[in-house]
Amino acid sequence: MAPDAQVFSGGVAVITGAGSGIGAGLARRAGVLGMTVVVADVNHATAKATADAIIAGGGKAEAQSVDVSRPEELDRLAELVFDRHGEVRLLINNAGIETVGYSWEVPAARWEATLNINLHGVIHGVRAFVPRVIASGKEAWIGNLSSVGAFGQMPGQTAYIVTKHAVQAFSECLYLEMELKNLPIHVSAIVPGMMRTNIFNPEHGTDEPGQSQGHRRAMFEMMRDYGMDLDEGCRLFLEQMAQNRFWAHSQPEMSTQIMGARAQFLTGQTLPVMPDLARQIAAD
């Protein structure tokens, strides 16, 4: 029996940003394993579509409208889930957006949205749920969406990269806090590589600088043509979480290569290195 089938065969899973992309893939997998899945998304229609798909497959799910950029919304979600179910076994803070454009050209509202969704949504998801999880006294698992982007640089995607570096640091500290307090709560940094999601879809960047559309289109096409199958990646994430691994990768070889380059950059204190992909996109 696969490790995730043992650990996540029951209980309640709460997954944010689960109306599409990695969140939806994780929600579907949790449903297949036998969990009751709370599908949270700012878009209720897409959340309901994910929940309906889980139910159609014989699983248990419910859709909840949640804007993770608003801390009070996560407080409301935590209260609702614990009042209704009494526990949370799996919490995945997944909700996130990609932002493209040079740092000084991205509008202030887009900067704030990126920080509030990608970073503060993770932080306040933990803040809202963990006290209740601790009070329940039950073992639980938390996954925060990091990225291979948390270990590198990409000009033109600065807003996103900044949030993922921060989520990674937050997850590392959270792991140690659980250890320090001797709590039965396992923390994982979920590190997607290149996966087939809709995060670079052109319609998601309508409030970005006009010249960013070429960058967004190039990334969309690359992920579409070369990205990993979404459901396979999500299966791997939950398997690794079930093994209490801090690092949960979709493509370990890609992660190792990028992390290795990061380690050399830090130990050598060299100048930041321009990614070949950035030069290629700028030339197109």
Q: Is the dihedral of CA 153, 229, 242, 254 positive or negative?
A: negative
At 282 the pLDDT is 75
**Rounded average pLDDT per 10-residue block, the chain, 284 residues:** 88 98 97 98 98 98 98 98 97 96 95 98 98 97 97 94 98 98 98 85 66 73 80 97 98 96 96 87 72
At 91 the pLDDT is 98
- How far is the C-alpha of 133 from the C-alpha of 145, rounded, in Å? 20
Which residues have a Cβ under 8 Å from the Cβ of 150 and sit 6 or more positions away? Answer: 161, 164, 165, 167, 168, 189, 191
- Residue 273 is given by DSSP the state P
- How far is the C-alpha of 41 from the C-alpha of 24, rounded, in Å? 10
At 7 the pLDDT is 96
The answer to whether 31 and 60 are in contact (CB under 8 A) is yes
- DSSP H or E run through 61: strand 60-65
The CATH number given to 7-283 is 3.40.50.720
- 102 is annotated as an active-site residue: no
Query: Coil, helix or strand for 93?
Result: strand
End-to-end CA, the chain = 48
- Residue 229 is given by DSSP the state P
| Structure tokens belonging to residue 113 | 């949205």
The Cα angle at residue 254 between residues 97 and 177, in degrees rounded to 5:
65
Domain ranges within the chain, ordered by starting residue: 7-283
Tally of residues, the chain: 284
Strand runs labelled E in the chain: 12-16, 36-41, 60-65, 90-93, 140-145, 185-191, 247-249
Q: Residue 99: what are its φ and ψ, rounded to 5°?
A: -125, 130
Catalytic residue among 102, 160, 175, 226: 160
Percentages of the chain per state (helix, strand, coil), in multiples of 5: 55, 15, 30
